[in-house]
Amino acid sequence: MRELSIIPCGRKKIWDKYPDLGPVPAGNAYTGTLHTLCRKYAEKYTDDWVILSAKHGFLSEDDLVEGQYDVTFGQKSNEIISFAKLREQIKEKGLDQYDNLVVLTGKKYKPVINGTFIDDLPRTYPLTRYKGIGYILQALNQSIKSGEPIHEKK
C-alpha cells in the first residue's frame, strides 16, 4: 500500500528572508512552521510527498520555484492554477498511481483535491478534525515525536 502525502506550501517563503535570491527548489522555498511539520510528518509516515501551491500546482522537492508570490485557493486571482492544469500534473507526475492520499491541509483544499483526483482514489484529511492552527501544530509535533501517525495507515 503506497501512500502519497499532499502538503501545503504556506505563505512564508525563503524570499521573505533573502529577497534577492533567485529560483530555488521547492524543497527549500517554503519555510513556515505548518509546512515544515507537514513535511516531517509526510517523510516519517508516507512513501512520498508533494507540495500543493495555488500558483504552481503539485511540486516535488526538486521542482524550481522562480520567486516570491502570494496567492491561495479561494482567492480571486488570474495567477491561481486551473483544475485542468492540476489534472495534467497528476497524470504527468504519476500522482494517481498511489493507493491512498494523505492530505495534510485544511478544509479549503478539499474541493481542490476532490476536484482534481479521481473519485475512487482513497484519501484522508487528518488535519481537518482539529479546531485551529495551534491544535494542528501540536498534533503534528506530538505525532512526529511519538511515532504514532494521526492518519489511519491503510
pLDDT given for residue 151 in this prediction: 93
pLDDT given for residue 154 in this prediction: 63
DSSP secondary structure string for all residues of 88-136: HHHHHTTGGGSSEEEE-S-GGGHHHHHHHS-TTS-EE-GGGGSSSHHHH
Full pLDDT tens readout for the chain, 154 residues? 999 999 999 899 999 999 999 999 999 999 999 999 999 999 999 999 999 999 999 999 999 999 888 888 877 888 899 999 999 999 999 999 999 999 999 888 999 999 999 888 999 999 999 999 999 999 999 999 999 999 987 6
Domain positions in the chain? 3-146
| Contact residues for 64 (Cβ-Cβ < 8 A; gap 6+) | 23, 24, 25, 26
pLDDT given for residue 74 in this prediction: 78
pLDDT given for residue 110 in this prediction: 93
